[in-house]
């Protein structure tokens, strides 16, 4: 099996991978594996995930730009979802701000043009889950190959786009399954959603993708990515509401 086939199998039901047979030598090779993994899974693209969306996070990972992966059909869930016990292996919870497009973006655009193209935004929890047994040891390129650890995105109601500058910089908390409360990241670690999607428009155009109207785009975490066990996970953005999900159990390794 190729590395892409092994990653796809691990996503569906298999145990975690301890290594790749041919680790990607560079970012371009990592995206080639990611594309092959996506093709193997066979689901249409429903949206996009960006990670390492601020310079400090990029520097910490040895990168120079955000990383990207598609969100496939079956990865996006409504507020209040109760997941099955076989969904996650070792999930990390993140509080995020999602933009939803009202019109298609088919070329590189500015942050202001992104804002004009949006139907609104949604509060969200990303439940990232690596297909690797020891994700930190694999390095950033291997994580890109693994579709940026994409697994599930829980989204709230559509809200007015004018709120984004405030909600993306304001107070929030993320409650993990065991009740642990996380505060927001420092200001310079919190992404500007419009700028993030402007970058995505350049990335997508260069790779022959179109950002379709209706696409859900999650723009990076506002809390430290943190492993969570079973329980109720809730992201609360002060003054703007909350979004939550329940994880009854984790899959055995």
* pLDDT tens figures, 181-240: 999 999 999 999 999 999 999 999 999 999 999 999 999 999 999 999 999 999 999 999
Examine the pLDDT at 253 and tell me if it is beyond 70.
no
pLDDT of the residue at 251: 84
φ and ψ at residue 236, rounded to 5 degrees: -120, 115
Examine the pLDDT at 248 and tell me if it is beyond 90.
yes
* pLDDT tens figures, 99-123: 999 999 999 999 999 999 999 999 9
Cα–Cα distance measured from residue 55 to residue 72, given in angstroms and rounded to the nearest whole number: 27
Three-state SS at 174: strand
Examine the pLDDT at 14 and tell me if it is beyond 70.
no
pLDDT of the residue at 252: 76
Domain ranges of the chain: 3-247
pLDDT of the residue at 29: 98
Q: Give Cα 142 distance to the centre of its chain.
A: 16
Q: Could you tell me the pLDDT band of residue 165, with boundaries at 50, 70 and 90?
A: very high
Examine the pLDDT at 71 and tell me if it is beyond 90.
yes
Class of domain 3-247: alpha beta
Cα–Cα distance measured from residue 218 to residue 179, given in angstroms and rounded to the nearest whole number: 24
Q: How far is CA 90 from CA 93, 158, 230, 249, in A?
A: 10, 29, 10, 11
- Max alpha carbon distance in the chain (Å)? 50
Looking at every residue in the chain, the average pLDDT score rounds to 97
pLDDT of the residue at 13: 78
Are the beta carbons of 243 and 124 closer than 8 angstroms? yes
Q: Give Cα 139 distance to the centre of its chain.
A: 17
Cα–Cα distance measured from residue 154 to residue 86, given in angstroms and rounded to the nearest whole number: 17
Return the H-helix or E-strand segment holding 175: strand 172-175
């Amino acid at each position: 099996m190729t590395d892409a086939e092994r990653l796809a199998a691990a996503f569906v039901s298999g145990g975690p991978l301890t290594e790749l047979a041919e680790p990607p030598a560079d970012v371009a090779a990592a995206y080639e594996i990611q594309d092959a993994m996506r093709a193997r899974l066979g689901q249409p693209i429903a949206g996009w995930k960006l990670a390492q969306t601020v310079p400090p996070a990029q520097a910490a990972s040895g990168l120079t730009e955000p990383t990207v992966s598609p969100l496939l059909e079956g990865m996006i869930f409504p507020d209040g979802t109760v997941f099955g016990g076989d969904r996650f292996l070792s999930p990390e919870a993140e509080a995020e701000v999602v933009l939803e497009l009202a019109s298609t973006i088919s070329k590189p655009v500015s942050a202001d043009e992104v804002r004009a193209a949006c139907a609104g935004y949604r509060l969200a929890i990303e439940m990232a889950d690596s297909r690797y047994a020891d994700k930190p040891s694999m390095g950033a390129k291997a994580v890109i190959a693994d579709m940026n650890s994409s697994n599930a995105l829980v989204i709230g109601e559509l809200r007015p786009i004018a709120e984004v500058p405030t909600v993306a910089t304001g107070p929030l908390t993320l409650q993990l399954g065991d009740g642990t409360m996380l505060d927001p990241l420092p200001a310079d670690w919190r992404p500007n959603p419009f700028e993030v999607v402007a970058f995505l428009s350049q990335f997508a155009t260069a790779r022959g993708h179109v950002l379709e109207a209706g696409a859900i785009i999650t723009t990076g975490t506002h809390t430290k990515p943190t492993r969570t066990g079973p329980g109720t996970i809730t992201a609360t953005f002060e003054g703007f509401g909350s979004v939550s999900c329940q994880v009854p159990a984790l899959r055995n390794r």
